[in-house]
Structure 1
Amino acid sequence: MAEAPTRYFRQRLNSDPEAIGHMRRIAAAFLRNWRWDHVVDPAVLCVTELLSNARQHTVSGNCVLLMQASASCVRITVSDNSEALPVVCEPDWLTERGRGMFLLSKSVDAWGANLTPQGKDVWIEFWGRETAGPRDAVAGTTQPRWTA
């Protein structure tokens, strides 16, 4: 039996706070429609972090959100015009910043970044509906995959 085709959603946006809130709601709706309900909470957290980073680390805040879903995987990518790759470090829990990528890295099955002619893509993946369960946002382990 052939696997169902990949479904996708793609949106160009300026990652201002209002747009980020709107994209969170859209991402949740698409994931539920695609029957990936069990990843809605961590995925929305990751969408917020990726779009916030695009706003913070680019001059314009312009970016592209791409969501793709197949029967076995959801991939969410944010593309922007910065070549600065994300950094994950042990956060200082007493400061207001610096823990987003740490929490993202602990909430997904895989993540990474690719340099592109226009800047970079930062992507996350959630795998397999049938094996999915609640994710531990602190105890999980993933390592980024980098490509140039």
Structure 2
Amino acid sequence: MTSLNTPVHTASVGRPALSQTFPCQPSAAETGRKLVQNVLDAWRLDELADRAALIVTELIANATKHTPCHDIRLTVGRPSASRVRVSVVDWEPERLPVAGLADHGDESGRGLLLIDAVSDCWGYDLHGSDRCPWGKEVWAELRLKSGQ
């Protein structure tokens, strides 16, 4: 498993991002949460940490449950000065994310609904060509409060 024993050093100018590959296992969620929290701390965006941690947990849970991939890539980045994007790439473009219609007693099926509730927007992008995609990236964005 990947270790986060060294502190995260990341620039807060331009379009900074940090990306790391993990085994496609439920245990990757804990390491992913720590990575995102460390990056947001380095960017002095601690107020986004709880929502970002929930998003990472759900994105990794979905990848591990719904794809046969051996590994996934987690990225946290700043596509603009006012947004943070958290994403997970898997190598299974055929299994597209769909918000679940979980029944009252179901124990799963609400991950994307949670992401929708805590993020400002979410979606997915296919990687590769239209005729031959090799993977997908499921992402969610958090907007910063004005003045940050």
TM interval, short-chain normalised: 0.7 to 0.9
Letter in 1 for 2:91: N
* Cα displacement (A) at 1:13: 1.2
Q: Give me the TM-score of the superposition, normalised by structure 2.
A: 0.79
> Is this contact kept in 2: 1:36–1:129, CA < 8 A?
no
Structure 1 counterpart of 2:7: none
The 5-angstrom pairing of residues 1-148 of structure 1 reads 4-69=13-78, 70-83=80-93, 84-117=95-128, 118-130=134-146
Q: Unpaired segments of 5 or more residues in structure 1?
A: 133-148
Output one character per residue of 1:72-126: Cα deviation in whole Å (capped at 9) or x when no partner: 1101111111121111134323211101111111110111111222111111111
Change (3 A) 1:48 1:61: farther
Structure 2 counterpart of 1:139: none
Letter in 2 for 1:45: L
**Partner SS state of residue 104, structure 1:** helix
> Is this contact kept in 2: 1:108–1:126, CA < 8 A?
yes
Aligned alpha-carbon RMSD (Å): 2.0
Q: Give me the TM-score of the superposition, normalised by structure 1.
A: 0.79
Deviating 4+ runs (over 3 angstroms): none
> Is this contact kept in 1: 2:51–2:118, CA < 8 A?
yes
Q: Unpaired segments of 5 or more residues in structure 2?
A: 1-11, 129-133
Q: Hey, what's the Cα distance between the residues in 2 that align with 1:21 and 1:82?
A: 22
Letter in 1 for 2:143: W
**Percent identity for Structure 1 against Structure 2:** 35
**Partner SS state of residue 100, structure 2:** coil
> Is this contact kept in 1: 2:26–2:60, CA < 8 A?
no
* Cα displacement (A) at 1:6: 1.8
How many residue pairs were aligned?
130
Change (3 A) 1:57 1:12: same
> Is this contact kept in 1: 2:69–2:92, CA < 8 A?
no
